[in-house]
Amino acid sequence: MDIKKIIKTLKGKNLYRQLKTIERAERVYVYIDGKRYINFSSNDYLSLAFDAELNAKHQNCLKKWPAGSGAARLVTGNFSIHEELEKKLAEIKKTEAALLFSCGYMANLGILSSLLGEKDAIFSDELNHASLIDGCRLSKAKVFIYKHRDTNHLKELLKKNRDKFETIAIVTDSVFSMDGDIAPLDELLKLAKDYNAYLIIDDAHATGVIGNSSLDFFNLKPTKRTIIMGTLGKALGTFGAFVASTKEMKEFFTNRARTFIFTTAIPPHIACMTLENLKEIQPRMVRLRKNIYLFSKLTGIKSQTAIFPLIIGDSGEALKISEKLLKKGFIIPAIRPPTVPEGTARLRITIAAGHSEEELRKLAETIKSLI
Ligand SMILES: *Cc1c(COP(=O)(O)O)cnc(C)c1O
């Protein structure tokens, strides 16, 4: 592999990526090179991660719980605070049980690779998150990609192929991470029933945004065939992830998901801090809904979630607009291929509960003047 050449090619195509160094963060602000920017690209939708008051409460967690768990959960890394958090997360998702994972990426790899194997098939939305795609690959199951949110296409694929496989699963983001649109979970659940499939739902951008669970948004209840993956690092403001499903499924993943078994348990103090944050989410969810509604009205970009994609197309052009916004004090990095499909480079604007009305108006005006 010619690494020098790869890097040069990326630069030539405006696809080279670089880290930005944040010196300090507070509420919806980040500080870079001593300058303050309004953050419009964080997944901290409820503005919990950089809240000074909450941070003070978190100090109590640090006093009580260690920074490291010392071992995997199944060895000697399982603390009572992990179980307390799992109980709370199951309650939120209205499932029998929940199981913590180190992060969402690991959870998706673990779910897919343990549940599905060579004799099985996965039906996956074409815009699913990279961790779901990698989970599909790791499982060795046959993968069928259906067109984005297209249940007719999915049905066609199921009809033609269901009988050739043993276990099958339909896999989808509930809120799509780069477009902010919502999967038709009501129809997907019906198809899962009709074709005896599991429905694996990735709630990374749904938890705390369109309800506690994406199923709530559709007035649906979890069933024995639904497996919900939720993350703690986005709206819940800490770090980690979980799978919410039946008790039996929890037992299965505890024994079979390699990304659960062979890794160190999440730090106990993080579990404690997550429980603290969960006490704060309800009023912030209301504020976030108000902000989403207002920003939608101001910009004409329709979104029911915190994600507002501003599709530019060309990667170089998207980079230029992102730099202009940066000069005006807004941090909104350009999202380019391979994160999004070729020719759909964009600014992925995300709205948070902590943005003020004035900040939302200022951004909407600035965008209008630039595009
Ligand atoms: C962020 C994200 C993940 C990964 O979660 P982490 O906890 O950050 O590893 C999985 N799925 C989707 C849709 C995501 O956006």
Output the CA 232–ligand 1 centroid distance in Å.
9
What one-character-per-residue DSSP string does 222-240 give?
--TTEEEEEESSSTT-SS-
pLDDT of residue 116: 98
Q: For 316-342, give one letter per residue: b (16+ CB within 10 A) or e.
A: eebbebbeebbeeebbbbbbbeebbee
Residue 34, burial from CB neighbour count under 10 angstroms (0-12, 13-18, 19+):
exposed
pLDDT of residue 14: 86
Report strand pairing: 29-32 vs 35-39: antiparallel
- CATH fold, domain 11-48+280-370, is Aspartate Aminotransferase, domain 1 (3.90.1150)
Task: Decide: 205 in ligand 1 pocket, CB within 6 A.
Answer: yes
Rounded Cα distance between 141 and 128, Å, is 17
Task: Decide: 350 in ligand 1 pocket, CB within 6 A.
Answer: no
What one-character-per-residue DSSP string does 99-165 give?
EEES-HHHHHHHHHHHH--TT-EEEEETT--HHHHHHHHHHT-EEEEEPTT-HHHHHHHHHHHGGG-
Rounded Cα distance between 334 and 317, Å, is 9
Task: Decide: 131 in ligand 1 pocket, CB within 6 A.
Answer: yes
Task: Decide: 214 in ligand 1 pocket, CB within 6 A.
Answer: no
- Chain mean position to CA 98: 17
- Chain mean position to CA 129: 8
What's the token pair of residue 114? Answer: 């343990």
Task: Decide: 180 in ligand 1 pocket, CB within 6 A.
Answer: no
Q: Give CATH 3.40.640.10 domain extents, the chain.
A: 56-278
Output the CA 31–ligand 1 centroid distance in Å.
25
Architecture of domain 56-278: 3-Layer(aba) Sandwich (3.40)
Task: Decide: 116 in ligand 1 pocket, CB within 6 A.
Answer: no
Rounded Cα distance between 302 and 260, Å, is 38
pTM score > 0.85 for this model?
yes
Segments in the chain below pLDDT 50: none
pLDDT of residue 15: 86
Task: Decide: 102 in ligand 1 pocket, CB within 6 A.
Answer: no
Rounded Cα distance between 62 and 297, Å, is 42
For a mutational test of ligand 1's pocket, the pick from 231, 238, 260, i.e. the residue with the most ligand atoms closer than 8 A to its C-beta, is: 231
What's the token pair of residue 149? Answer: 């949110």
pLDDT of residue 371: 83
Question: Ligand 1 atom closest to Cα of 240?
Answer: 7
Residue type, 342: E
Q: Could you tell me the maximum CA-CA distance found in the chain, to the nearest angstrom?
A: 61
Output the CA 105–ligand 1 centroid distance in Å.
6
Question: Ligand 1 atom closest to Cα of 131?
Answer: 10
Task: Specify the length of the chain in residues.
Answer: 371
pLDDT of residue 18: 86
For a mutational test of ligand 1's pocket, the pick from 102, 105, 232, i.e. the residue with the most ligand atoms closer than 8 A to its C-beta, is: 105
Question: Ligand 1 atom closest to Cα of 232?
Answer: 7
124 contacts 244 by C-beta, under 8 angstroms: no
Task: Decide: 241 in ligand 1 pocket, CB within 6 A.
Answer: yes
Task: Decide: 179 in ligand 1 pocket, CB within 6 A.
Answer: no
Task: Decide: 100 in ligand 1 pocket, CB within 6 A.
Answer: no
Q: Give CATH 3.90.1150.10 domain extents, the chain.
A: 11-48+280-370
